[in-house]
Structure 1
Amino acid sequence: MLNYRMTTILRELMAADTAITSQYLAKVTDVTSRTTRDDIKHLDELLEGAKIDSIRAKGYQLDIQDNQRFLHYLKKVYQEQVVTDSIIPNSPEERIRYMIKRLLLEDSYIKLEDLSEDMHISKSTIQNDLKRVKKILKKYDIDMDKRPNYGLKLQGSELKLRFCMSEYVFDRAKKAEASNEIRTDQLFSLTETELSVIWTIMIEEIQENEITPSDIAIKNLYIHIAIACKRIKSGNHVSIYKANLEEIRNQKEYNVADRIVAKVEYCLQLTFPHEEVAYIAIHLMGTKMISQTNMNEEKIRDFLDEDIQQVTLAILNKIEEKFDLGIRHDRELIVGLALHLKPAINRYRYGMNIRNPMIDDIKANYPLVFETGIVASMVLEEVMGVTIDENEIGYLALHIGAAIERRKMKKGPKRCLIVCASGFGSAQLLKYKLQSEFDSKLEIAATTEYYKLQQCSLENIDFIVSSIPIPDSLPIPVIEVNTILGENDLERIKTMVFKNSISLFDYVKESLVFLDQPFSTQEQVLNFLYDELRNKGLVHHGFLKALYEREAVAPTAFGNLVAVPHPITPLSEQTFLTFCTLKRPIEWGEKRVQFICLLSVKKDSTEDLQSMYEMLGKIIDDVSLVEDLIRSKSCSEFIKLLVPK
């Protein structure tokens, strides 16, 4: 039986076109070169239908002498690994990724029996999983050709196949800080040396020509060039319309791409078609960043195209109208959003997608921020006819989220002024009582007597706490209290300190909790909840359609079996939450869901729902809590878990 190191070595040797050094294999298996040489010797003795050649000054290379015998041996090794290492895909998500990867990397047809045997599951389970596989592939405009007695094979443009390959062949959940962290077995034909050459050429040209893409953009470009090399070797390449090609050739980025390609061609002995050069140029155009973010709004207008200006301002106006976040005039946000939108529109024009490795974290931890990104995408489509997916929406949301955090930092705690007529001592008593009661949530700006009030600046003061009546009309609220604060006094001050801050707990009602439901589809869940809410008079006609419209933009499943559906625009007369748990998990977009929290925000609401969203985020993140909530058999038990005393 092969151990883990020998399996890894065999995989590396199978993936490489040329010899691999023992130093590289040692690095991959995290042992010394001497141990690696011993492993290679032992592996060579176990192989059937193949042997490992040692090539002087170059390393080791796999020589397959009897293909059928060697394939039979690999199948036997695979079965052993499944039993000993549990490398078989277990969850539906793992199986789906596995099938997509197999289909993308297979030149010929794959039979259902083979997939069934690979994963040790029934054909009926495979057929059920394939529905989700088809749905995912459809997003890339890739079809699945099914032929009797042959099996399955993917069909689509080379461009779309490459996009999908870039997403699924590479494990983007793993952070890659440098080129050598992207493994050669994932490319199935490029050696460590070839990958290193591509990385070095690309970085040198980017730096020399002062193009400044983001770290993520650099990795995406690196992955693209590596995949392009692999597929050019097998005779595949991208096609771009001639008119677009001519337009791209006039850009500075085309010259940089041309130099990158010329060097890669020379070092790897490949010939890139012109379309490939243009495609790399589009990557550079699509990731262009400008570091001058200290421009004022007037300079920004001089710099930006008129259409970018208009759509940026339209997005910010719509976000402010819907969420009242107070970030409309954040200069950093205007610059950041505008500079991001220009290349985003470029990507759309040329049919590019961009991967966002943070998308699941953004959706799970910052649902309010993600919703602002959804609004931005709707404005972009309405104003410019540009449609973006949730990866791009996530990047827009990051800019908006940063502006929200900046405002929080500037905003700080509420600030109050204490007015007292009984002398300094009573004013100090009020001050210390408020400080002990509210701690960092309230800042006492100053204490003053009434006759000096007109001399005090009320700028940046949120409200006044006064122990005497104040007849004057002031621009800020006044809370009249007793010198010795009572419970009613504290409650009124608390209302002002936490004004508009709504928690999840304010909306948990037994009548809106539905447990252990038998539904098997997303549609059944949404229809059921809609009917219940309509019967209770909480929603009206059009609410269900708005739920589906929101799901069409980006599924509201956030992982951890949780979905938070909501209408694409606020439609109800009040803000409420509705909870539903299911007997079994169901498909919701590309994720599995068993806990549903339907959220509806009041039309034209000025409530600050950030704390409620944060609480929802904590629930989404807490695996054990979600499991306990799903297992709950009574509404009272469910609410006790959700709202602990």
Structure 2
Amino acid sequence: MNSRIIIILRELMASDKPITSEYLAHVLDVTSRTIREDIKGLDYELRKHGARIKSTRGTGYELIIEDDLDFRQYLNQFVEGQIDGDHLLNSPDARVQYLLKKFLLSEHYLKLDELCDEMHISKSTIQSDLRQVKKLLDKHDITLDKKPNYGLKAIGNEVKLRFAMSEYIFDRSRSASTTIWQDQLTRIADINAEQLEQIWMLLINEIREHKISLSDIAINNLFIHIAIAYKRIKSGHHVSLITQDIDEITKQREYRVAQNIVTAAERILGVTFPTVEVAYIAIHLLGTKMVSQTNMSETTIETIMDQPIQSMTTQILDALEAKMHLGIRHDKELIIGLGLHLKPAINRYKYGMNVRNPMLNDIKQNYTLAFEAGIVAGLVLEELMGVAIDENEIGYIALHIGAAIERKKMQTGPIRCFIVCASGLGSAHLIKYKLKSQFGSRIEILGTTEYYKLQQVPFDKTDFIVSSVPIHQDVPVPVIEVNAILTEKDIVKIEAFVEEDVNSVFEYIREDLLFLSKPLQTKEDVLTFLVKQLQDKVALPNNYLDLVYERESIAPTAYGNLIAIPHPITAQTNVTCLTICTLKKPIDWAGNRVQFVCLLNVEKDSKEDLQNMYEMLGKMVDNPALIQSLTQCTSYREFINTLIALNN
């Protein structure tokens, strides 16, 4: 099965709706005819293994699994081939993964010439791949030591080497079932299946007995790391931790659990784990400790969250409110959830443990706003702790924030407003009764006031202000300016706010900032073009392009489905608008194919609620058929009409 057909199968498996040949053609940069031929071949192969591809005219292709067991066995065989895999080394990513495994498993220096022969590639190709390998290893403080006449060897702290082995040796795109982990571990760690089964049951029993709450992913990670420890101990390698660290770890309850695990594992595996290895396993238990009770009092929370964690949580929430105005600063569940998440995370950061987030792509696609908020939170943590927070951790933080955003939506009752009027109480009451008759129970009018008493308005309980006089003061809620005698136009303005009409987001899509079917060929070309076009119409800081690249360096803004939404980390412009560009052909954007680029520009210090805009962007990210349609639009009107169809 060639790499193109593999990608088609992955796309079909990952989608819960039919996919068109045009979409697949854009992803793979081939013709629709080629895709149709590939689909025929793939369908022929799948029909022998409990599945088929359903083709519906005008709708697209859909994977139908008729025998789940047969299909899963087929996937297992295919993945086995991928692990041994010489035949899949025809892409840079595959070669990089192969080289990572080779260097991390090798006890000796590896010569480039021999690797070239083994992988059937040229010296210039492998040197290019090695740059990416070095970059990935550098995240774990591992270097490739070069020795003349001997070659290259991975060198680094033993703890970091193990974390890297756990990260890169195993194909984590596969099912997380223990049998599959064991298939890989049996070969790589040289442990028989019976021993691995005993280790697995040992972990499950100890965790249950001592009531340690671990996620499935965390248990798998611990399982893998014990197998790696066995292999490395047999090879004469041991973890090094400074005495102070060991002293601190031995005082923890998790250390006693680790001792039990190690004592039993020594019997099963026939090796002796040094004391420092016990501490190492305790770190894993500490690093994934969770407290599930979130319905506790503030006093109880304080006993769990020590002062530094309380302070971090507060600073994160303050930064989110200052920069994004999400209205979740005082969400009690968020305060508790974020604090409890940060407590075990401190151990991970302290010992340099990598965290994996298998939901990362889904979070980025379905919770775009929450993920951006997670980046703001990550920057706060980086500043406070002096460590780099990668996008896997940002994804987990985003889940807490996303839940708070959803809770806010669920809690919305009638929208609450205050009326400000300069022409006397009579006109204020006239506005009040007009609003009541027009909107009924959808609006709760908290009161009326004169302009000079504006600061007495209870802003913490007010969603917006209706004012018949211009308000030049900086107030923390939106202001809708109306006439003293409400006109139809005034009613429409208020209606749009009350209903949170999604069509109101179209005010951010300006005809003079929409560029269709451009022949740009690289990410750099696109970003330079969009910033230049924006600069001609909107006041920008001189380093705006640099600020966009700074955000890209934290986590690429290409979300799959041919779409990228670049932007600076913090609001920089004097107006909120979208600068949109569609491309004649897809381009590479950090490993993703992109044909629709939306440069997101948010007004600095704005108090406007942008939730609807972010929701629309989220819908676009999650709708490949829509992006396909938008990339074919040839006019502003056609573009807007296509978007309107999304929201109706």
* TM-score, normalised by the number of residues in structure 2: 0.71
Note the C-alpha offset of 1:606. 2.1
CA contact (8 A) 2:414 2:443 kept: no
Percent of pairs identical after alignment?
Answer: 53
| Whole-angstrom CA distance in 1 between matches of 2:556 and 2:400 | 21
Provide, for residues 518-560 of structure 1, a one-character-per-residue CA deviation record: whole Å limited to 9, x for no partner: 6665445434433333233441223223223322332323233
Secondary structure (helix, strand or coil) at the match of 1:577 reads strand
Provide, for residues 410-436 of structure 1, a one-character-per-residue CA deviation record: whole Å limited to 9, x for no partner: 11564899xxxxxxxxxxxx999979x
CA contact (8 A) 1:619 1:626 kept: yes
Secondary structure (helix, strand or coil) at the match of 1:240 reads coil
CA contact (8 A) 1:565 1:598 kept: yes
Alignment of 1:590-609 (within 5 A): 591=592, 593-609=594-610
Note the C-alpha offset of 1:644. 5.3
Distance change >3 Å, CA 192–CA 520, structure 1 → 2: farther
Note the C-alpha offset of 1:350. 1.2
Q: Counterpart in 2 of 1:539?
A: 540
Q: Counterpart in 2 of 1:144?
A: 144
| Whole-angstrom CA distance in 1 between matches of 2:280 and 2:405 | 36
CA contact (8 A) 1:197 1:267 kept: yes
Distance change >3 Å, CA 397–CA 196, structure 1 → 2: same
Which amino acid in structure 1 is aligned with residue 242 of structure 2?
Answer: Y
Alignment of 1:38-49 (within 5 A): none
Secondary structure (helix, strand or coil) at the match of 2:542 reads coil
Note the C-alpha offset of 1:226. 2.5
Note the C-alpha offset of 1:401. 1.1
| Whole-angstrom CA distance in 1 between matches of 2:583 and 2:516 | 7
Which amino acid in structure 1 is aligned with residue 170 of structure 2?
Answer: F
Secondary structure (helix, strand or coil) at the match of 2:222 reads helix
Root-mean-square deviation (Å): 4.4
Distance change >3 Å, CA 309–CA 275, structure 1 → 2: same
Note the C-alpha offset of 1:588. 4.2
| Whole-angstrom CA distance in 2 between matches of 1:327 and 1:294 | 18
Which amino acid in structure 2 is aligned with residue 179 of structure 1?
Answer: T
Which amino acid in structure 2 is aligned with residue 271 of structure 1?
Answer: T
Note the C-alpha offset of 1:387. 3.3
Secondary structure (helix, strand or coil) at the match of 1:411 reads coil
Note the C-alpha offset of 1:515. 5.4
Q: Counterpart in 1 of 2:132?
A: 132
Which amino acid in structure 2 is aligned with residue 495 of structure 1?
Answer: A
Distance change >3 Å, CA 156–CA 640, structure 1 → 2: farther
CA contact (8 A) 1:521 1:586 kept: yes
| Whole-angstrom CA distance in 1 between matches of 2:156 and 2:251 | 29
Note the C-alpha offset of 1:636. 7.1
Matched, 1:328 2:329: yes
| Whole-angstrom CA distance in 2 between matches of 1:30 and 1:394 | 29
Secondary structure (helix, strand or coil) at the match of 2:559 reads strand
| Whole-angstrom CA distance in 1 between matches of 2:483 and 2:517 | 50
| Whole-angstrom CA distance in 2 between matches of 1:634 and 1:133 | 44
| Whole-angstrom CA distance in 2 between matches of 1:587 and 1:133 | 19
Q: Counterpart in 2 of 1:161?
A: 161
Point out the more displaced range, 371-380 or 96-105: 96-105
Note the C-alpha offset of 1:94. 3.9
Note the C-alpha offset of 1:616. 2.0
Structure 1 unaligned blocks of 5 or more: 5-26, 32-38, 40-76, 418-429, 436-441, 447-458, 466-474
Point out the more displaced range, 491-500 or 156-165: 491-500
CA contact (8 A) 2:357 2:393 kept: yes
Distance change >3 Å, CA 550–CA 259, structure 1 → 2: same
Distance change >3 Å, CA 140–CA 323, structure 1 → 2: same
Note the C-alpha offset of 1:331. 1.4
| Whole-angstrom CA distance in 2 between matches of 1:583 and 1:107 | 49
Alignment of 1:505-516 (within 5 A): 505-514=506-515
Say how many residue pairs are matched: 536
Secondary structure (helix, strand or coil) at the match of 2:403 reads helix
Q: Counterpart in 2 of 1:381?
A: 382
Alignment of 1:157-556 (within 5 A): 157-176=157-176, 178-185=177-184, 188=187, 189-412=190-413, 414=415, 443=442, 488=489, 491-499=492-500, 505-514=506-515, 522-556=523-557
Which amino acid in structure 1 is aligned with residue 163 of structure 2?
Answer: F
Q: Counterpart in 2 of 1:617?
A: 618
CA contact (8 A) 2:415 2:444 kept: no
Note the C-alpha offset of 1:508. 2.6
Note the C-alpha offset of 1:564. 1.8
| Whole-angstrom CA distance in 2 between matches of 1:250 and 1:305 | 17
Note the C-alpha offset of 1:112. 5.8
| Whole-angstrom CA distance in 1 between matches of 2:502 and 2:185 | 48
| Whole-angstrom CA distance in 1 between matches of 2:634 and 2:114 | 41
Secondary structure (helix, strand or coil) at the match of 1:154 reads strand
CA contact (8 A) 2:518 2:583 kept: yes
CA contact (8 A) 1:416 1:443 kept: no
Provide, for residues 186-212 of structure 1, a one-character-per-residue CA deviation record: whole Å limited to 9, x for no partner: 552233222211111112112222222
| Whole-angstrom CA distance in 2 between matches of 1:517 and 1:391 | 33
| Whole-angstrom CA distance in 2 between matches of 1:168 and 1:586 | 27
| Whole-angstrom CA distance in 1 between matches of 2:504 and 2:147 | 55
| Whole-angstrom CA distance in 2 between matches of 1:364 and 1:30 | 27
Distance change >3 Å, CA 478–CA 127, structure 1 → 2: closer
Which amino acid in structure 2 is aligned with residue 155 of structure 1?
Answer: I
Distance change >3 Å, CA 273–CA 464, structure 1 → 2: closer
Distance change >3 Å, CA 516–CA 116, structure 1 → 2: farther
Point out the more displaced range, 527-536 or 207-216: 527-536
Note the C-alpha offset of 1:158. 2.8
CA contact (8 A) 2:561 2:621 kept: yes
Distance change >3 Å, CA 139–CA 643, structure 1 → 2: farther
Secondary structure (helix, strand or coil) at the match of 1:578 reads strand
Distance change >3 Å, CA 618–CA 29, structure 1 → 2: closer
CA contact (8 A) 1:500 1:607 kept: no
CA contact (8 A) 2:581 2:598 kept: yes
Point out the more displaced range, 209-218 or 633-642: 633-642
| Whole-angstrom CA distance in 2 between matches of 1:146 and 1:508 | 53
Distance change >3 Å, CA 532–CA 217, structure 1 → 2: same
| Whole-angstrom CA distance in 2 between matches of 1:190 and 1:628 | 53
Which amino acid in structure 2 is aligned with residue 139 of structure 1?
Answer: K
Note the C-alpha offset of 1:461. 9.8
Note the C-alpha offset of 1:348. 1.0
Distance change >3 Å, CA 149–CA 464, structure 1 → 2: closer
CA contact (8 A) 2:186 2:193 kept: no
Which amino acid in structure 2 is aligned with residue 167 of structure 1?
Answer: E
| Whole-angstrom CA distance in 1 between matches of 2:405 and 2:543 | 31
Note the C-alpha offset of 1:572. 0.3
Which amino acid in structure 1 is aligned with residue 338 of structure 2?
Answer: L
CA contact (8 A) 1:365 1:614 kept: no
CA contact (8 A) 1:209 1:256 kept: yes
CA contact (8 A) 2:206 2:257 kept: yes
| Whole-angstrom CA distance in 1 between matches of 2:236 and 2:504 | 58
Secondary structure (helix, strand or coil) at the match of 2:373 reads helix
Which amino acid in structure 2 is aligned with residue 391 of structure 1?
Answer: N
Q: Counterpart in 1 of 2:455?
A: none
Note the C-alpha offset of 1:569. 1.0
Provide, for residues 283-326 of structure 1, a one-character-per-residue CA deviation record: whole Å limited to 9, x for no partner: 11111122332222243234421111111111111111222222
CA contact (8 A) 1:562 1:620 kept: yes
Question: Max radius of gyration: which structure?
Answer: 1
